């Protein structure tokens, strides 16, 4: 582990070192992010967009500064960045603002995370793109799934189960050719790959702060500027109206229109520091490191007899691999626990919020290892060695 600058990793758990291979779930935070949150409470501590004293002004400036940083990271304009609670909140906000009904069809792969599945099944009608026996979507099906009732195509840029990078450019082109907007779930790509919303020409994009070295409780919904016009309201309440009388109200312009109530000010400021951190390391450097660890992971897993490795044939991936090991009397969750207790290797075991994927493949859970910039080849080798031993 290259723990320097990540207090949690430097300290270990209960003072014992561990190998953290669960970054797809959430990432530890660098010192600069923790400091930014603490500094807010120690030196500002005020609410945003209201109040006329210096602390309130400083809070608003820091909060809006973070919006500029997030926008710059993905090539957007600040006015296109809506802060939410998490990626899940971004999907739910969009589902509500699109004013969906059961007549509306939303097309997405059967492998999607529940957060890019549940809002569409509750508010509209899901149309699933099938997956193959490695859990990879059959990308070419998209065109045949789009009908006159399709309101949106939604897809994970990188699957949180397979780590495979989706051909999002092609999907956006296909959907747009049919006049359908596209939502990209960048939850797993945002901290591994450069993401440029202008180059992609994507309509909507969502991600969470906590998977990109930022604090919990903050998400982002990017909305291409021209798309706001067709959206209804999201949450309503304080902070999102310009004028409110007994007879009528006037909502503020986006993005504040979609940020009702006191936001997670410290979280947003911490996210701004996380963006600085990512950009200092350099997204191209991070992508290259992720790629190298991914190759090592996949080579090692391919040598394990009897292991089912999801997405094994796909070439484009990040440092995330998911496997099912047929061990008698041990579930994949048990194996994850054993790796933690016997080897100090922390991975995920279970369904990774993708039940439909697992049901379709008849898998009772899987084991997922996901690496990031603080991991090195020795960490991957330790994981592979532990699996070989099992």
**Closer Cβ to ligand PLP, 44 or 184, answer by number:** 184
| Of residues 14, 21, 106, the one with CA closest to residue 376 | 21
The catalytically annotated residue of 46, 252, 325, 353 is: 353
Q: How far is the CB of 75 from ligand PLP (least distance, A)?
A: 21
Q: Which residues contact 144 (CB under 8 A, 6 or more apart)?
A: none
> Computed from CA positions of residues 106, 92, 218, 51, in that sequence, does the dihedral angle turn out positive or negative?
positive
Query: Which pair of structure tokens corresponds to residue 310?
Result: 């999801």
Report the DSSP beta bridge partners of residue 241: 251
The CA–CA distances, whole Å, from 253 to 71, 226, 259 equal 17, 13, 11
Residue located via tokens 């493949």: 361
To the nearest whole angstrom, how small is the minimum distance from the Cβ of residue 270 to ligand PLP?
15
Q: How far apart are CA 208 and CA 56, in angstroms?
A: 26
283 or 353, CB closer to ligand PLP? 353
Cα gap 249→243, rounded to integer Å? 5
Minimum Å distance from CB 218 to ligand PLP?
A: 9
Give me the residues that bind ligand PLP (CB under 6 A), please. Answer: 86-88, 113, 115-116, 156, 160, 185, 187-188, 208, 210, 353
Contacts of 53 (CB under 8 A, 6+ apart): 46
Single out the residue of 24, 21, 27, 11 nearest to residue 380, CA to CA: 21
Q: Is 290 helix (H, G, I), strand (E, B) or coil?
A: helix
Per the CB < 8 A criterion, the answer to whether 260 and 96 are in contact is: no
Nearer to ligand PLP, 19 or 354 (CB): 354
Alpha helices in 78-237 (DSSP H): 87-97, 118-123, 142-145, 168-177, 197-200
Length of the chain: 390
* Residue 389 CB, nearest approach to ligand PLP (Å): 29
Give every CB contact of residue 15 below 8 A, 6+ residues apart in sequence. none
Shortest Cβ 109–ligand PLP spacing (Å): 11
CB 267 within 8 A of CB 216: yes
- Closer CB to ligand PLP, residue 84 or residue 375? 84
Q: How far is the CB of 322 from ligand PLP (least distance, A)?
A: 12
Nearer to ligand PLP, 27 or 86 (CB): 86
Q: Residue 15 Cβ, how far from ligand PLP at the closest point, in Å? A: 29
Distance CA 354, CA 332 (A): 15
Shortest separation between residue 348's beta carbon and ligand PLP, angstroms? 9
Cβ-based neighbours of 9, under 8 Å, separated by 6 or more: 1, 3, 20, 28, 374
> Is there a catalytic annotation at residue 353?
yes
Taking the least distance from each CB to ligand PLP, the nearer of 49 and 91 is 91
What does the alpha-carbon distance between residue 96 and residue 120 come to, in Å, rounded to a whole number?
10
Indicate the residue among 5 and 350 with the shorter CB distance to ligand PLP. Answer: 350
* C-beta closer to ligand PLP: residue 49 or 349: 349
The number of helices, as runs of H, and strands, as runs of E, in the chain is 13, 15
For the CA atoms of 183, 189, 191, 192, what is the dihedral angle to 10 degrees? Answer: -150
Which residues are tagged catalytic?
353
């Amino acid at each position: 582990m290259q723990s320097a600058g990540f207090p949690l990793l430097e300290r270990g758990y209960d003072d014992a070192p561990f190998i953290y291979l669960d970054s797809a779930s959430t990432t530890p935070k660098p010192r600069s992010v923790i400091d930014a949150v603490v500094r807010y409470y120690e030196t500002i501590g005020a609410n945003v967009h209201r109040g006329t004293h210096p602390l309130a002004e400083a809070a608003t400036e820091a909060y809006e500064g973070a919006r500029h940083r997030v926008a710059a990271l993905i090539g957007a304009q600040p006015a296109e960045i809506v802060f939410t609670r998490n990626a899940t909140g971004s999907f739910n906000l969009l589902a509500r603002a699109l004013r969906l009904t059961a007549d509306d069809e939303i097309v997405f792969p059967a492998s999607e995370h529940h957060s890019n599945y549940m809002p569409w099944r509750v508010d509209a009608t899901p149309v699933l793109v099938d997956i193959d026996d490695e859990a990879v979507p059959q990308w070419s099906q998209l065109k045949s799934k789009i009908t006159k009732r399709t309101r949106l195509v939604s897809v994970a840029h990188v699957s949180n189960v397979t780590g495979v990078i989706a051909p999002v450019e092609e999907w956006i082109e296909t959907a747009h050719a049919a006049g359908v907007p596209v939502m990209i779930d960048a939850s797993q790509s945002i901290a591994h790959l450069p993401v440029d919303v202008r180059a992609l020409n994507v309509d909507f994009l969502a991600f969470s702060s906590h998977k990109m070295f930022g604090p919990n409780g903050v998400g982002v919904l990017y909305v291409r500027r021209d798309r706001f016009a067709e959206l209804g309201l999201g949450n309503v309440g304080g902070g999102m109206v310009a004028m409110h009388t007994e007879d009528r109200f006037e909502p503020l312009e986006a993005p504040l229109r979609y940020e009702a109530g006191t936001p997670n000010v410290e979280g947003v400021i911490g996210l701004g520091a996380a963006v600085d951190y990512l950009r200092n390391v350099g997204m191209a450097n991070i992508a290259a490191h992720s790629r190298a660890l991914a190759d090592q992971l996949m080579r090692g897993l391919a040598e394990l007899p009897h292991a089912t490795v999801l997405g094994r044939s796909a070439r484009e991936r990040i440092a995330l691999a998911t496997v099912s090991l047929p061990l008698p009397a041990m579930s994949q969750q048990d194996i994850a626990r054993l790796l933690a207790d016997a080897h100090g290797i922390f991975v995920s075991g279970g369904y990774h919020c993708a039940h439909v994927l697992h049901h379709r493949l008849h898998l009772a859970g899987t084991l997922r290892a996901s690496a990031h910039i603080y991991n090195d080849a020795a960490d991957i080798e330790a994981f592979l060695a532990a699996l070989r031993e099992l």
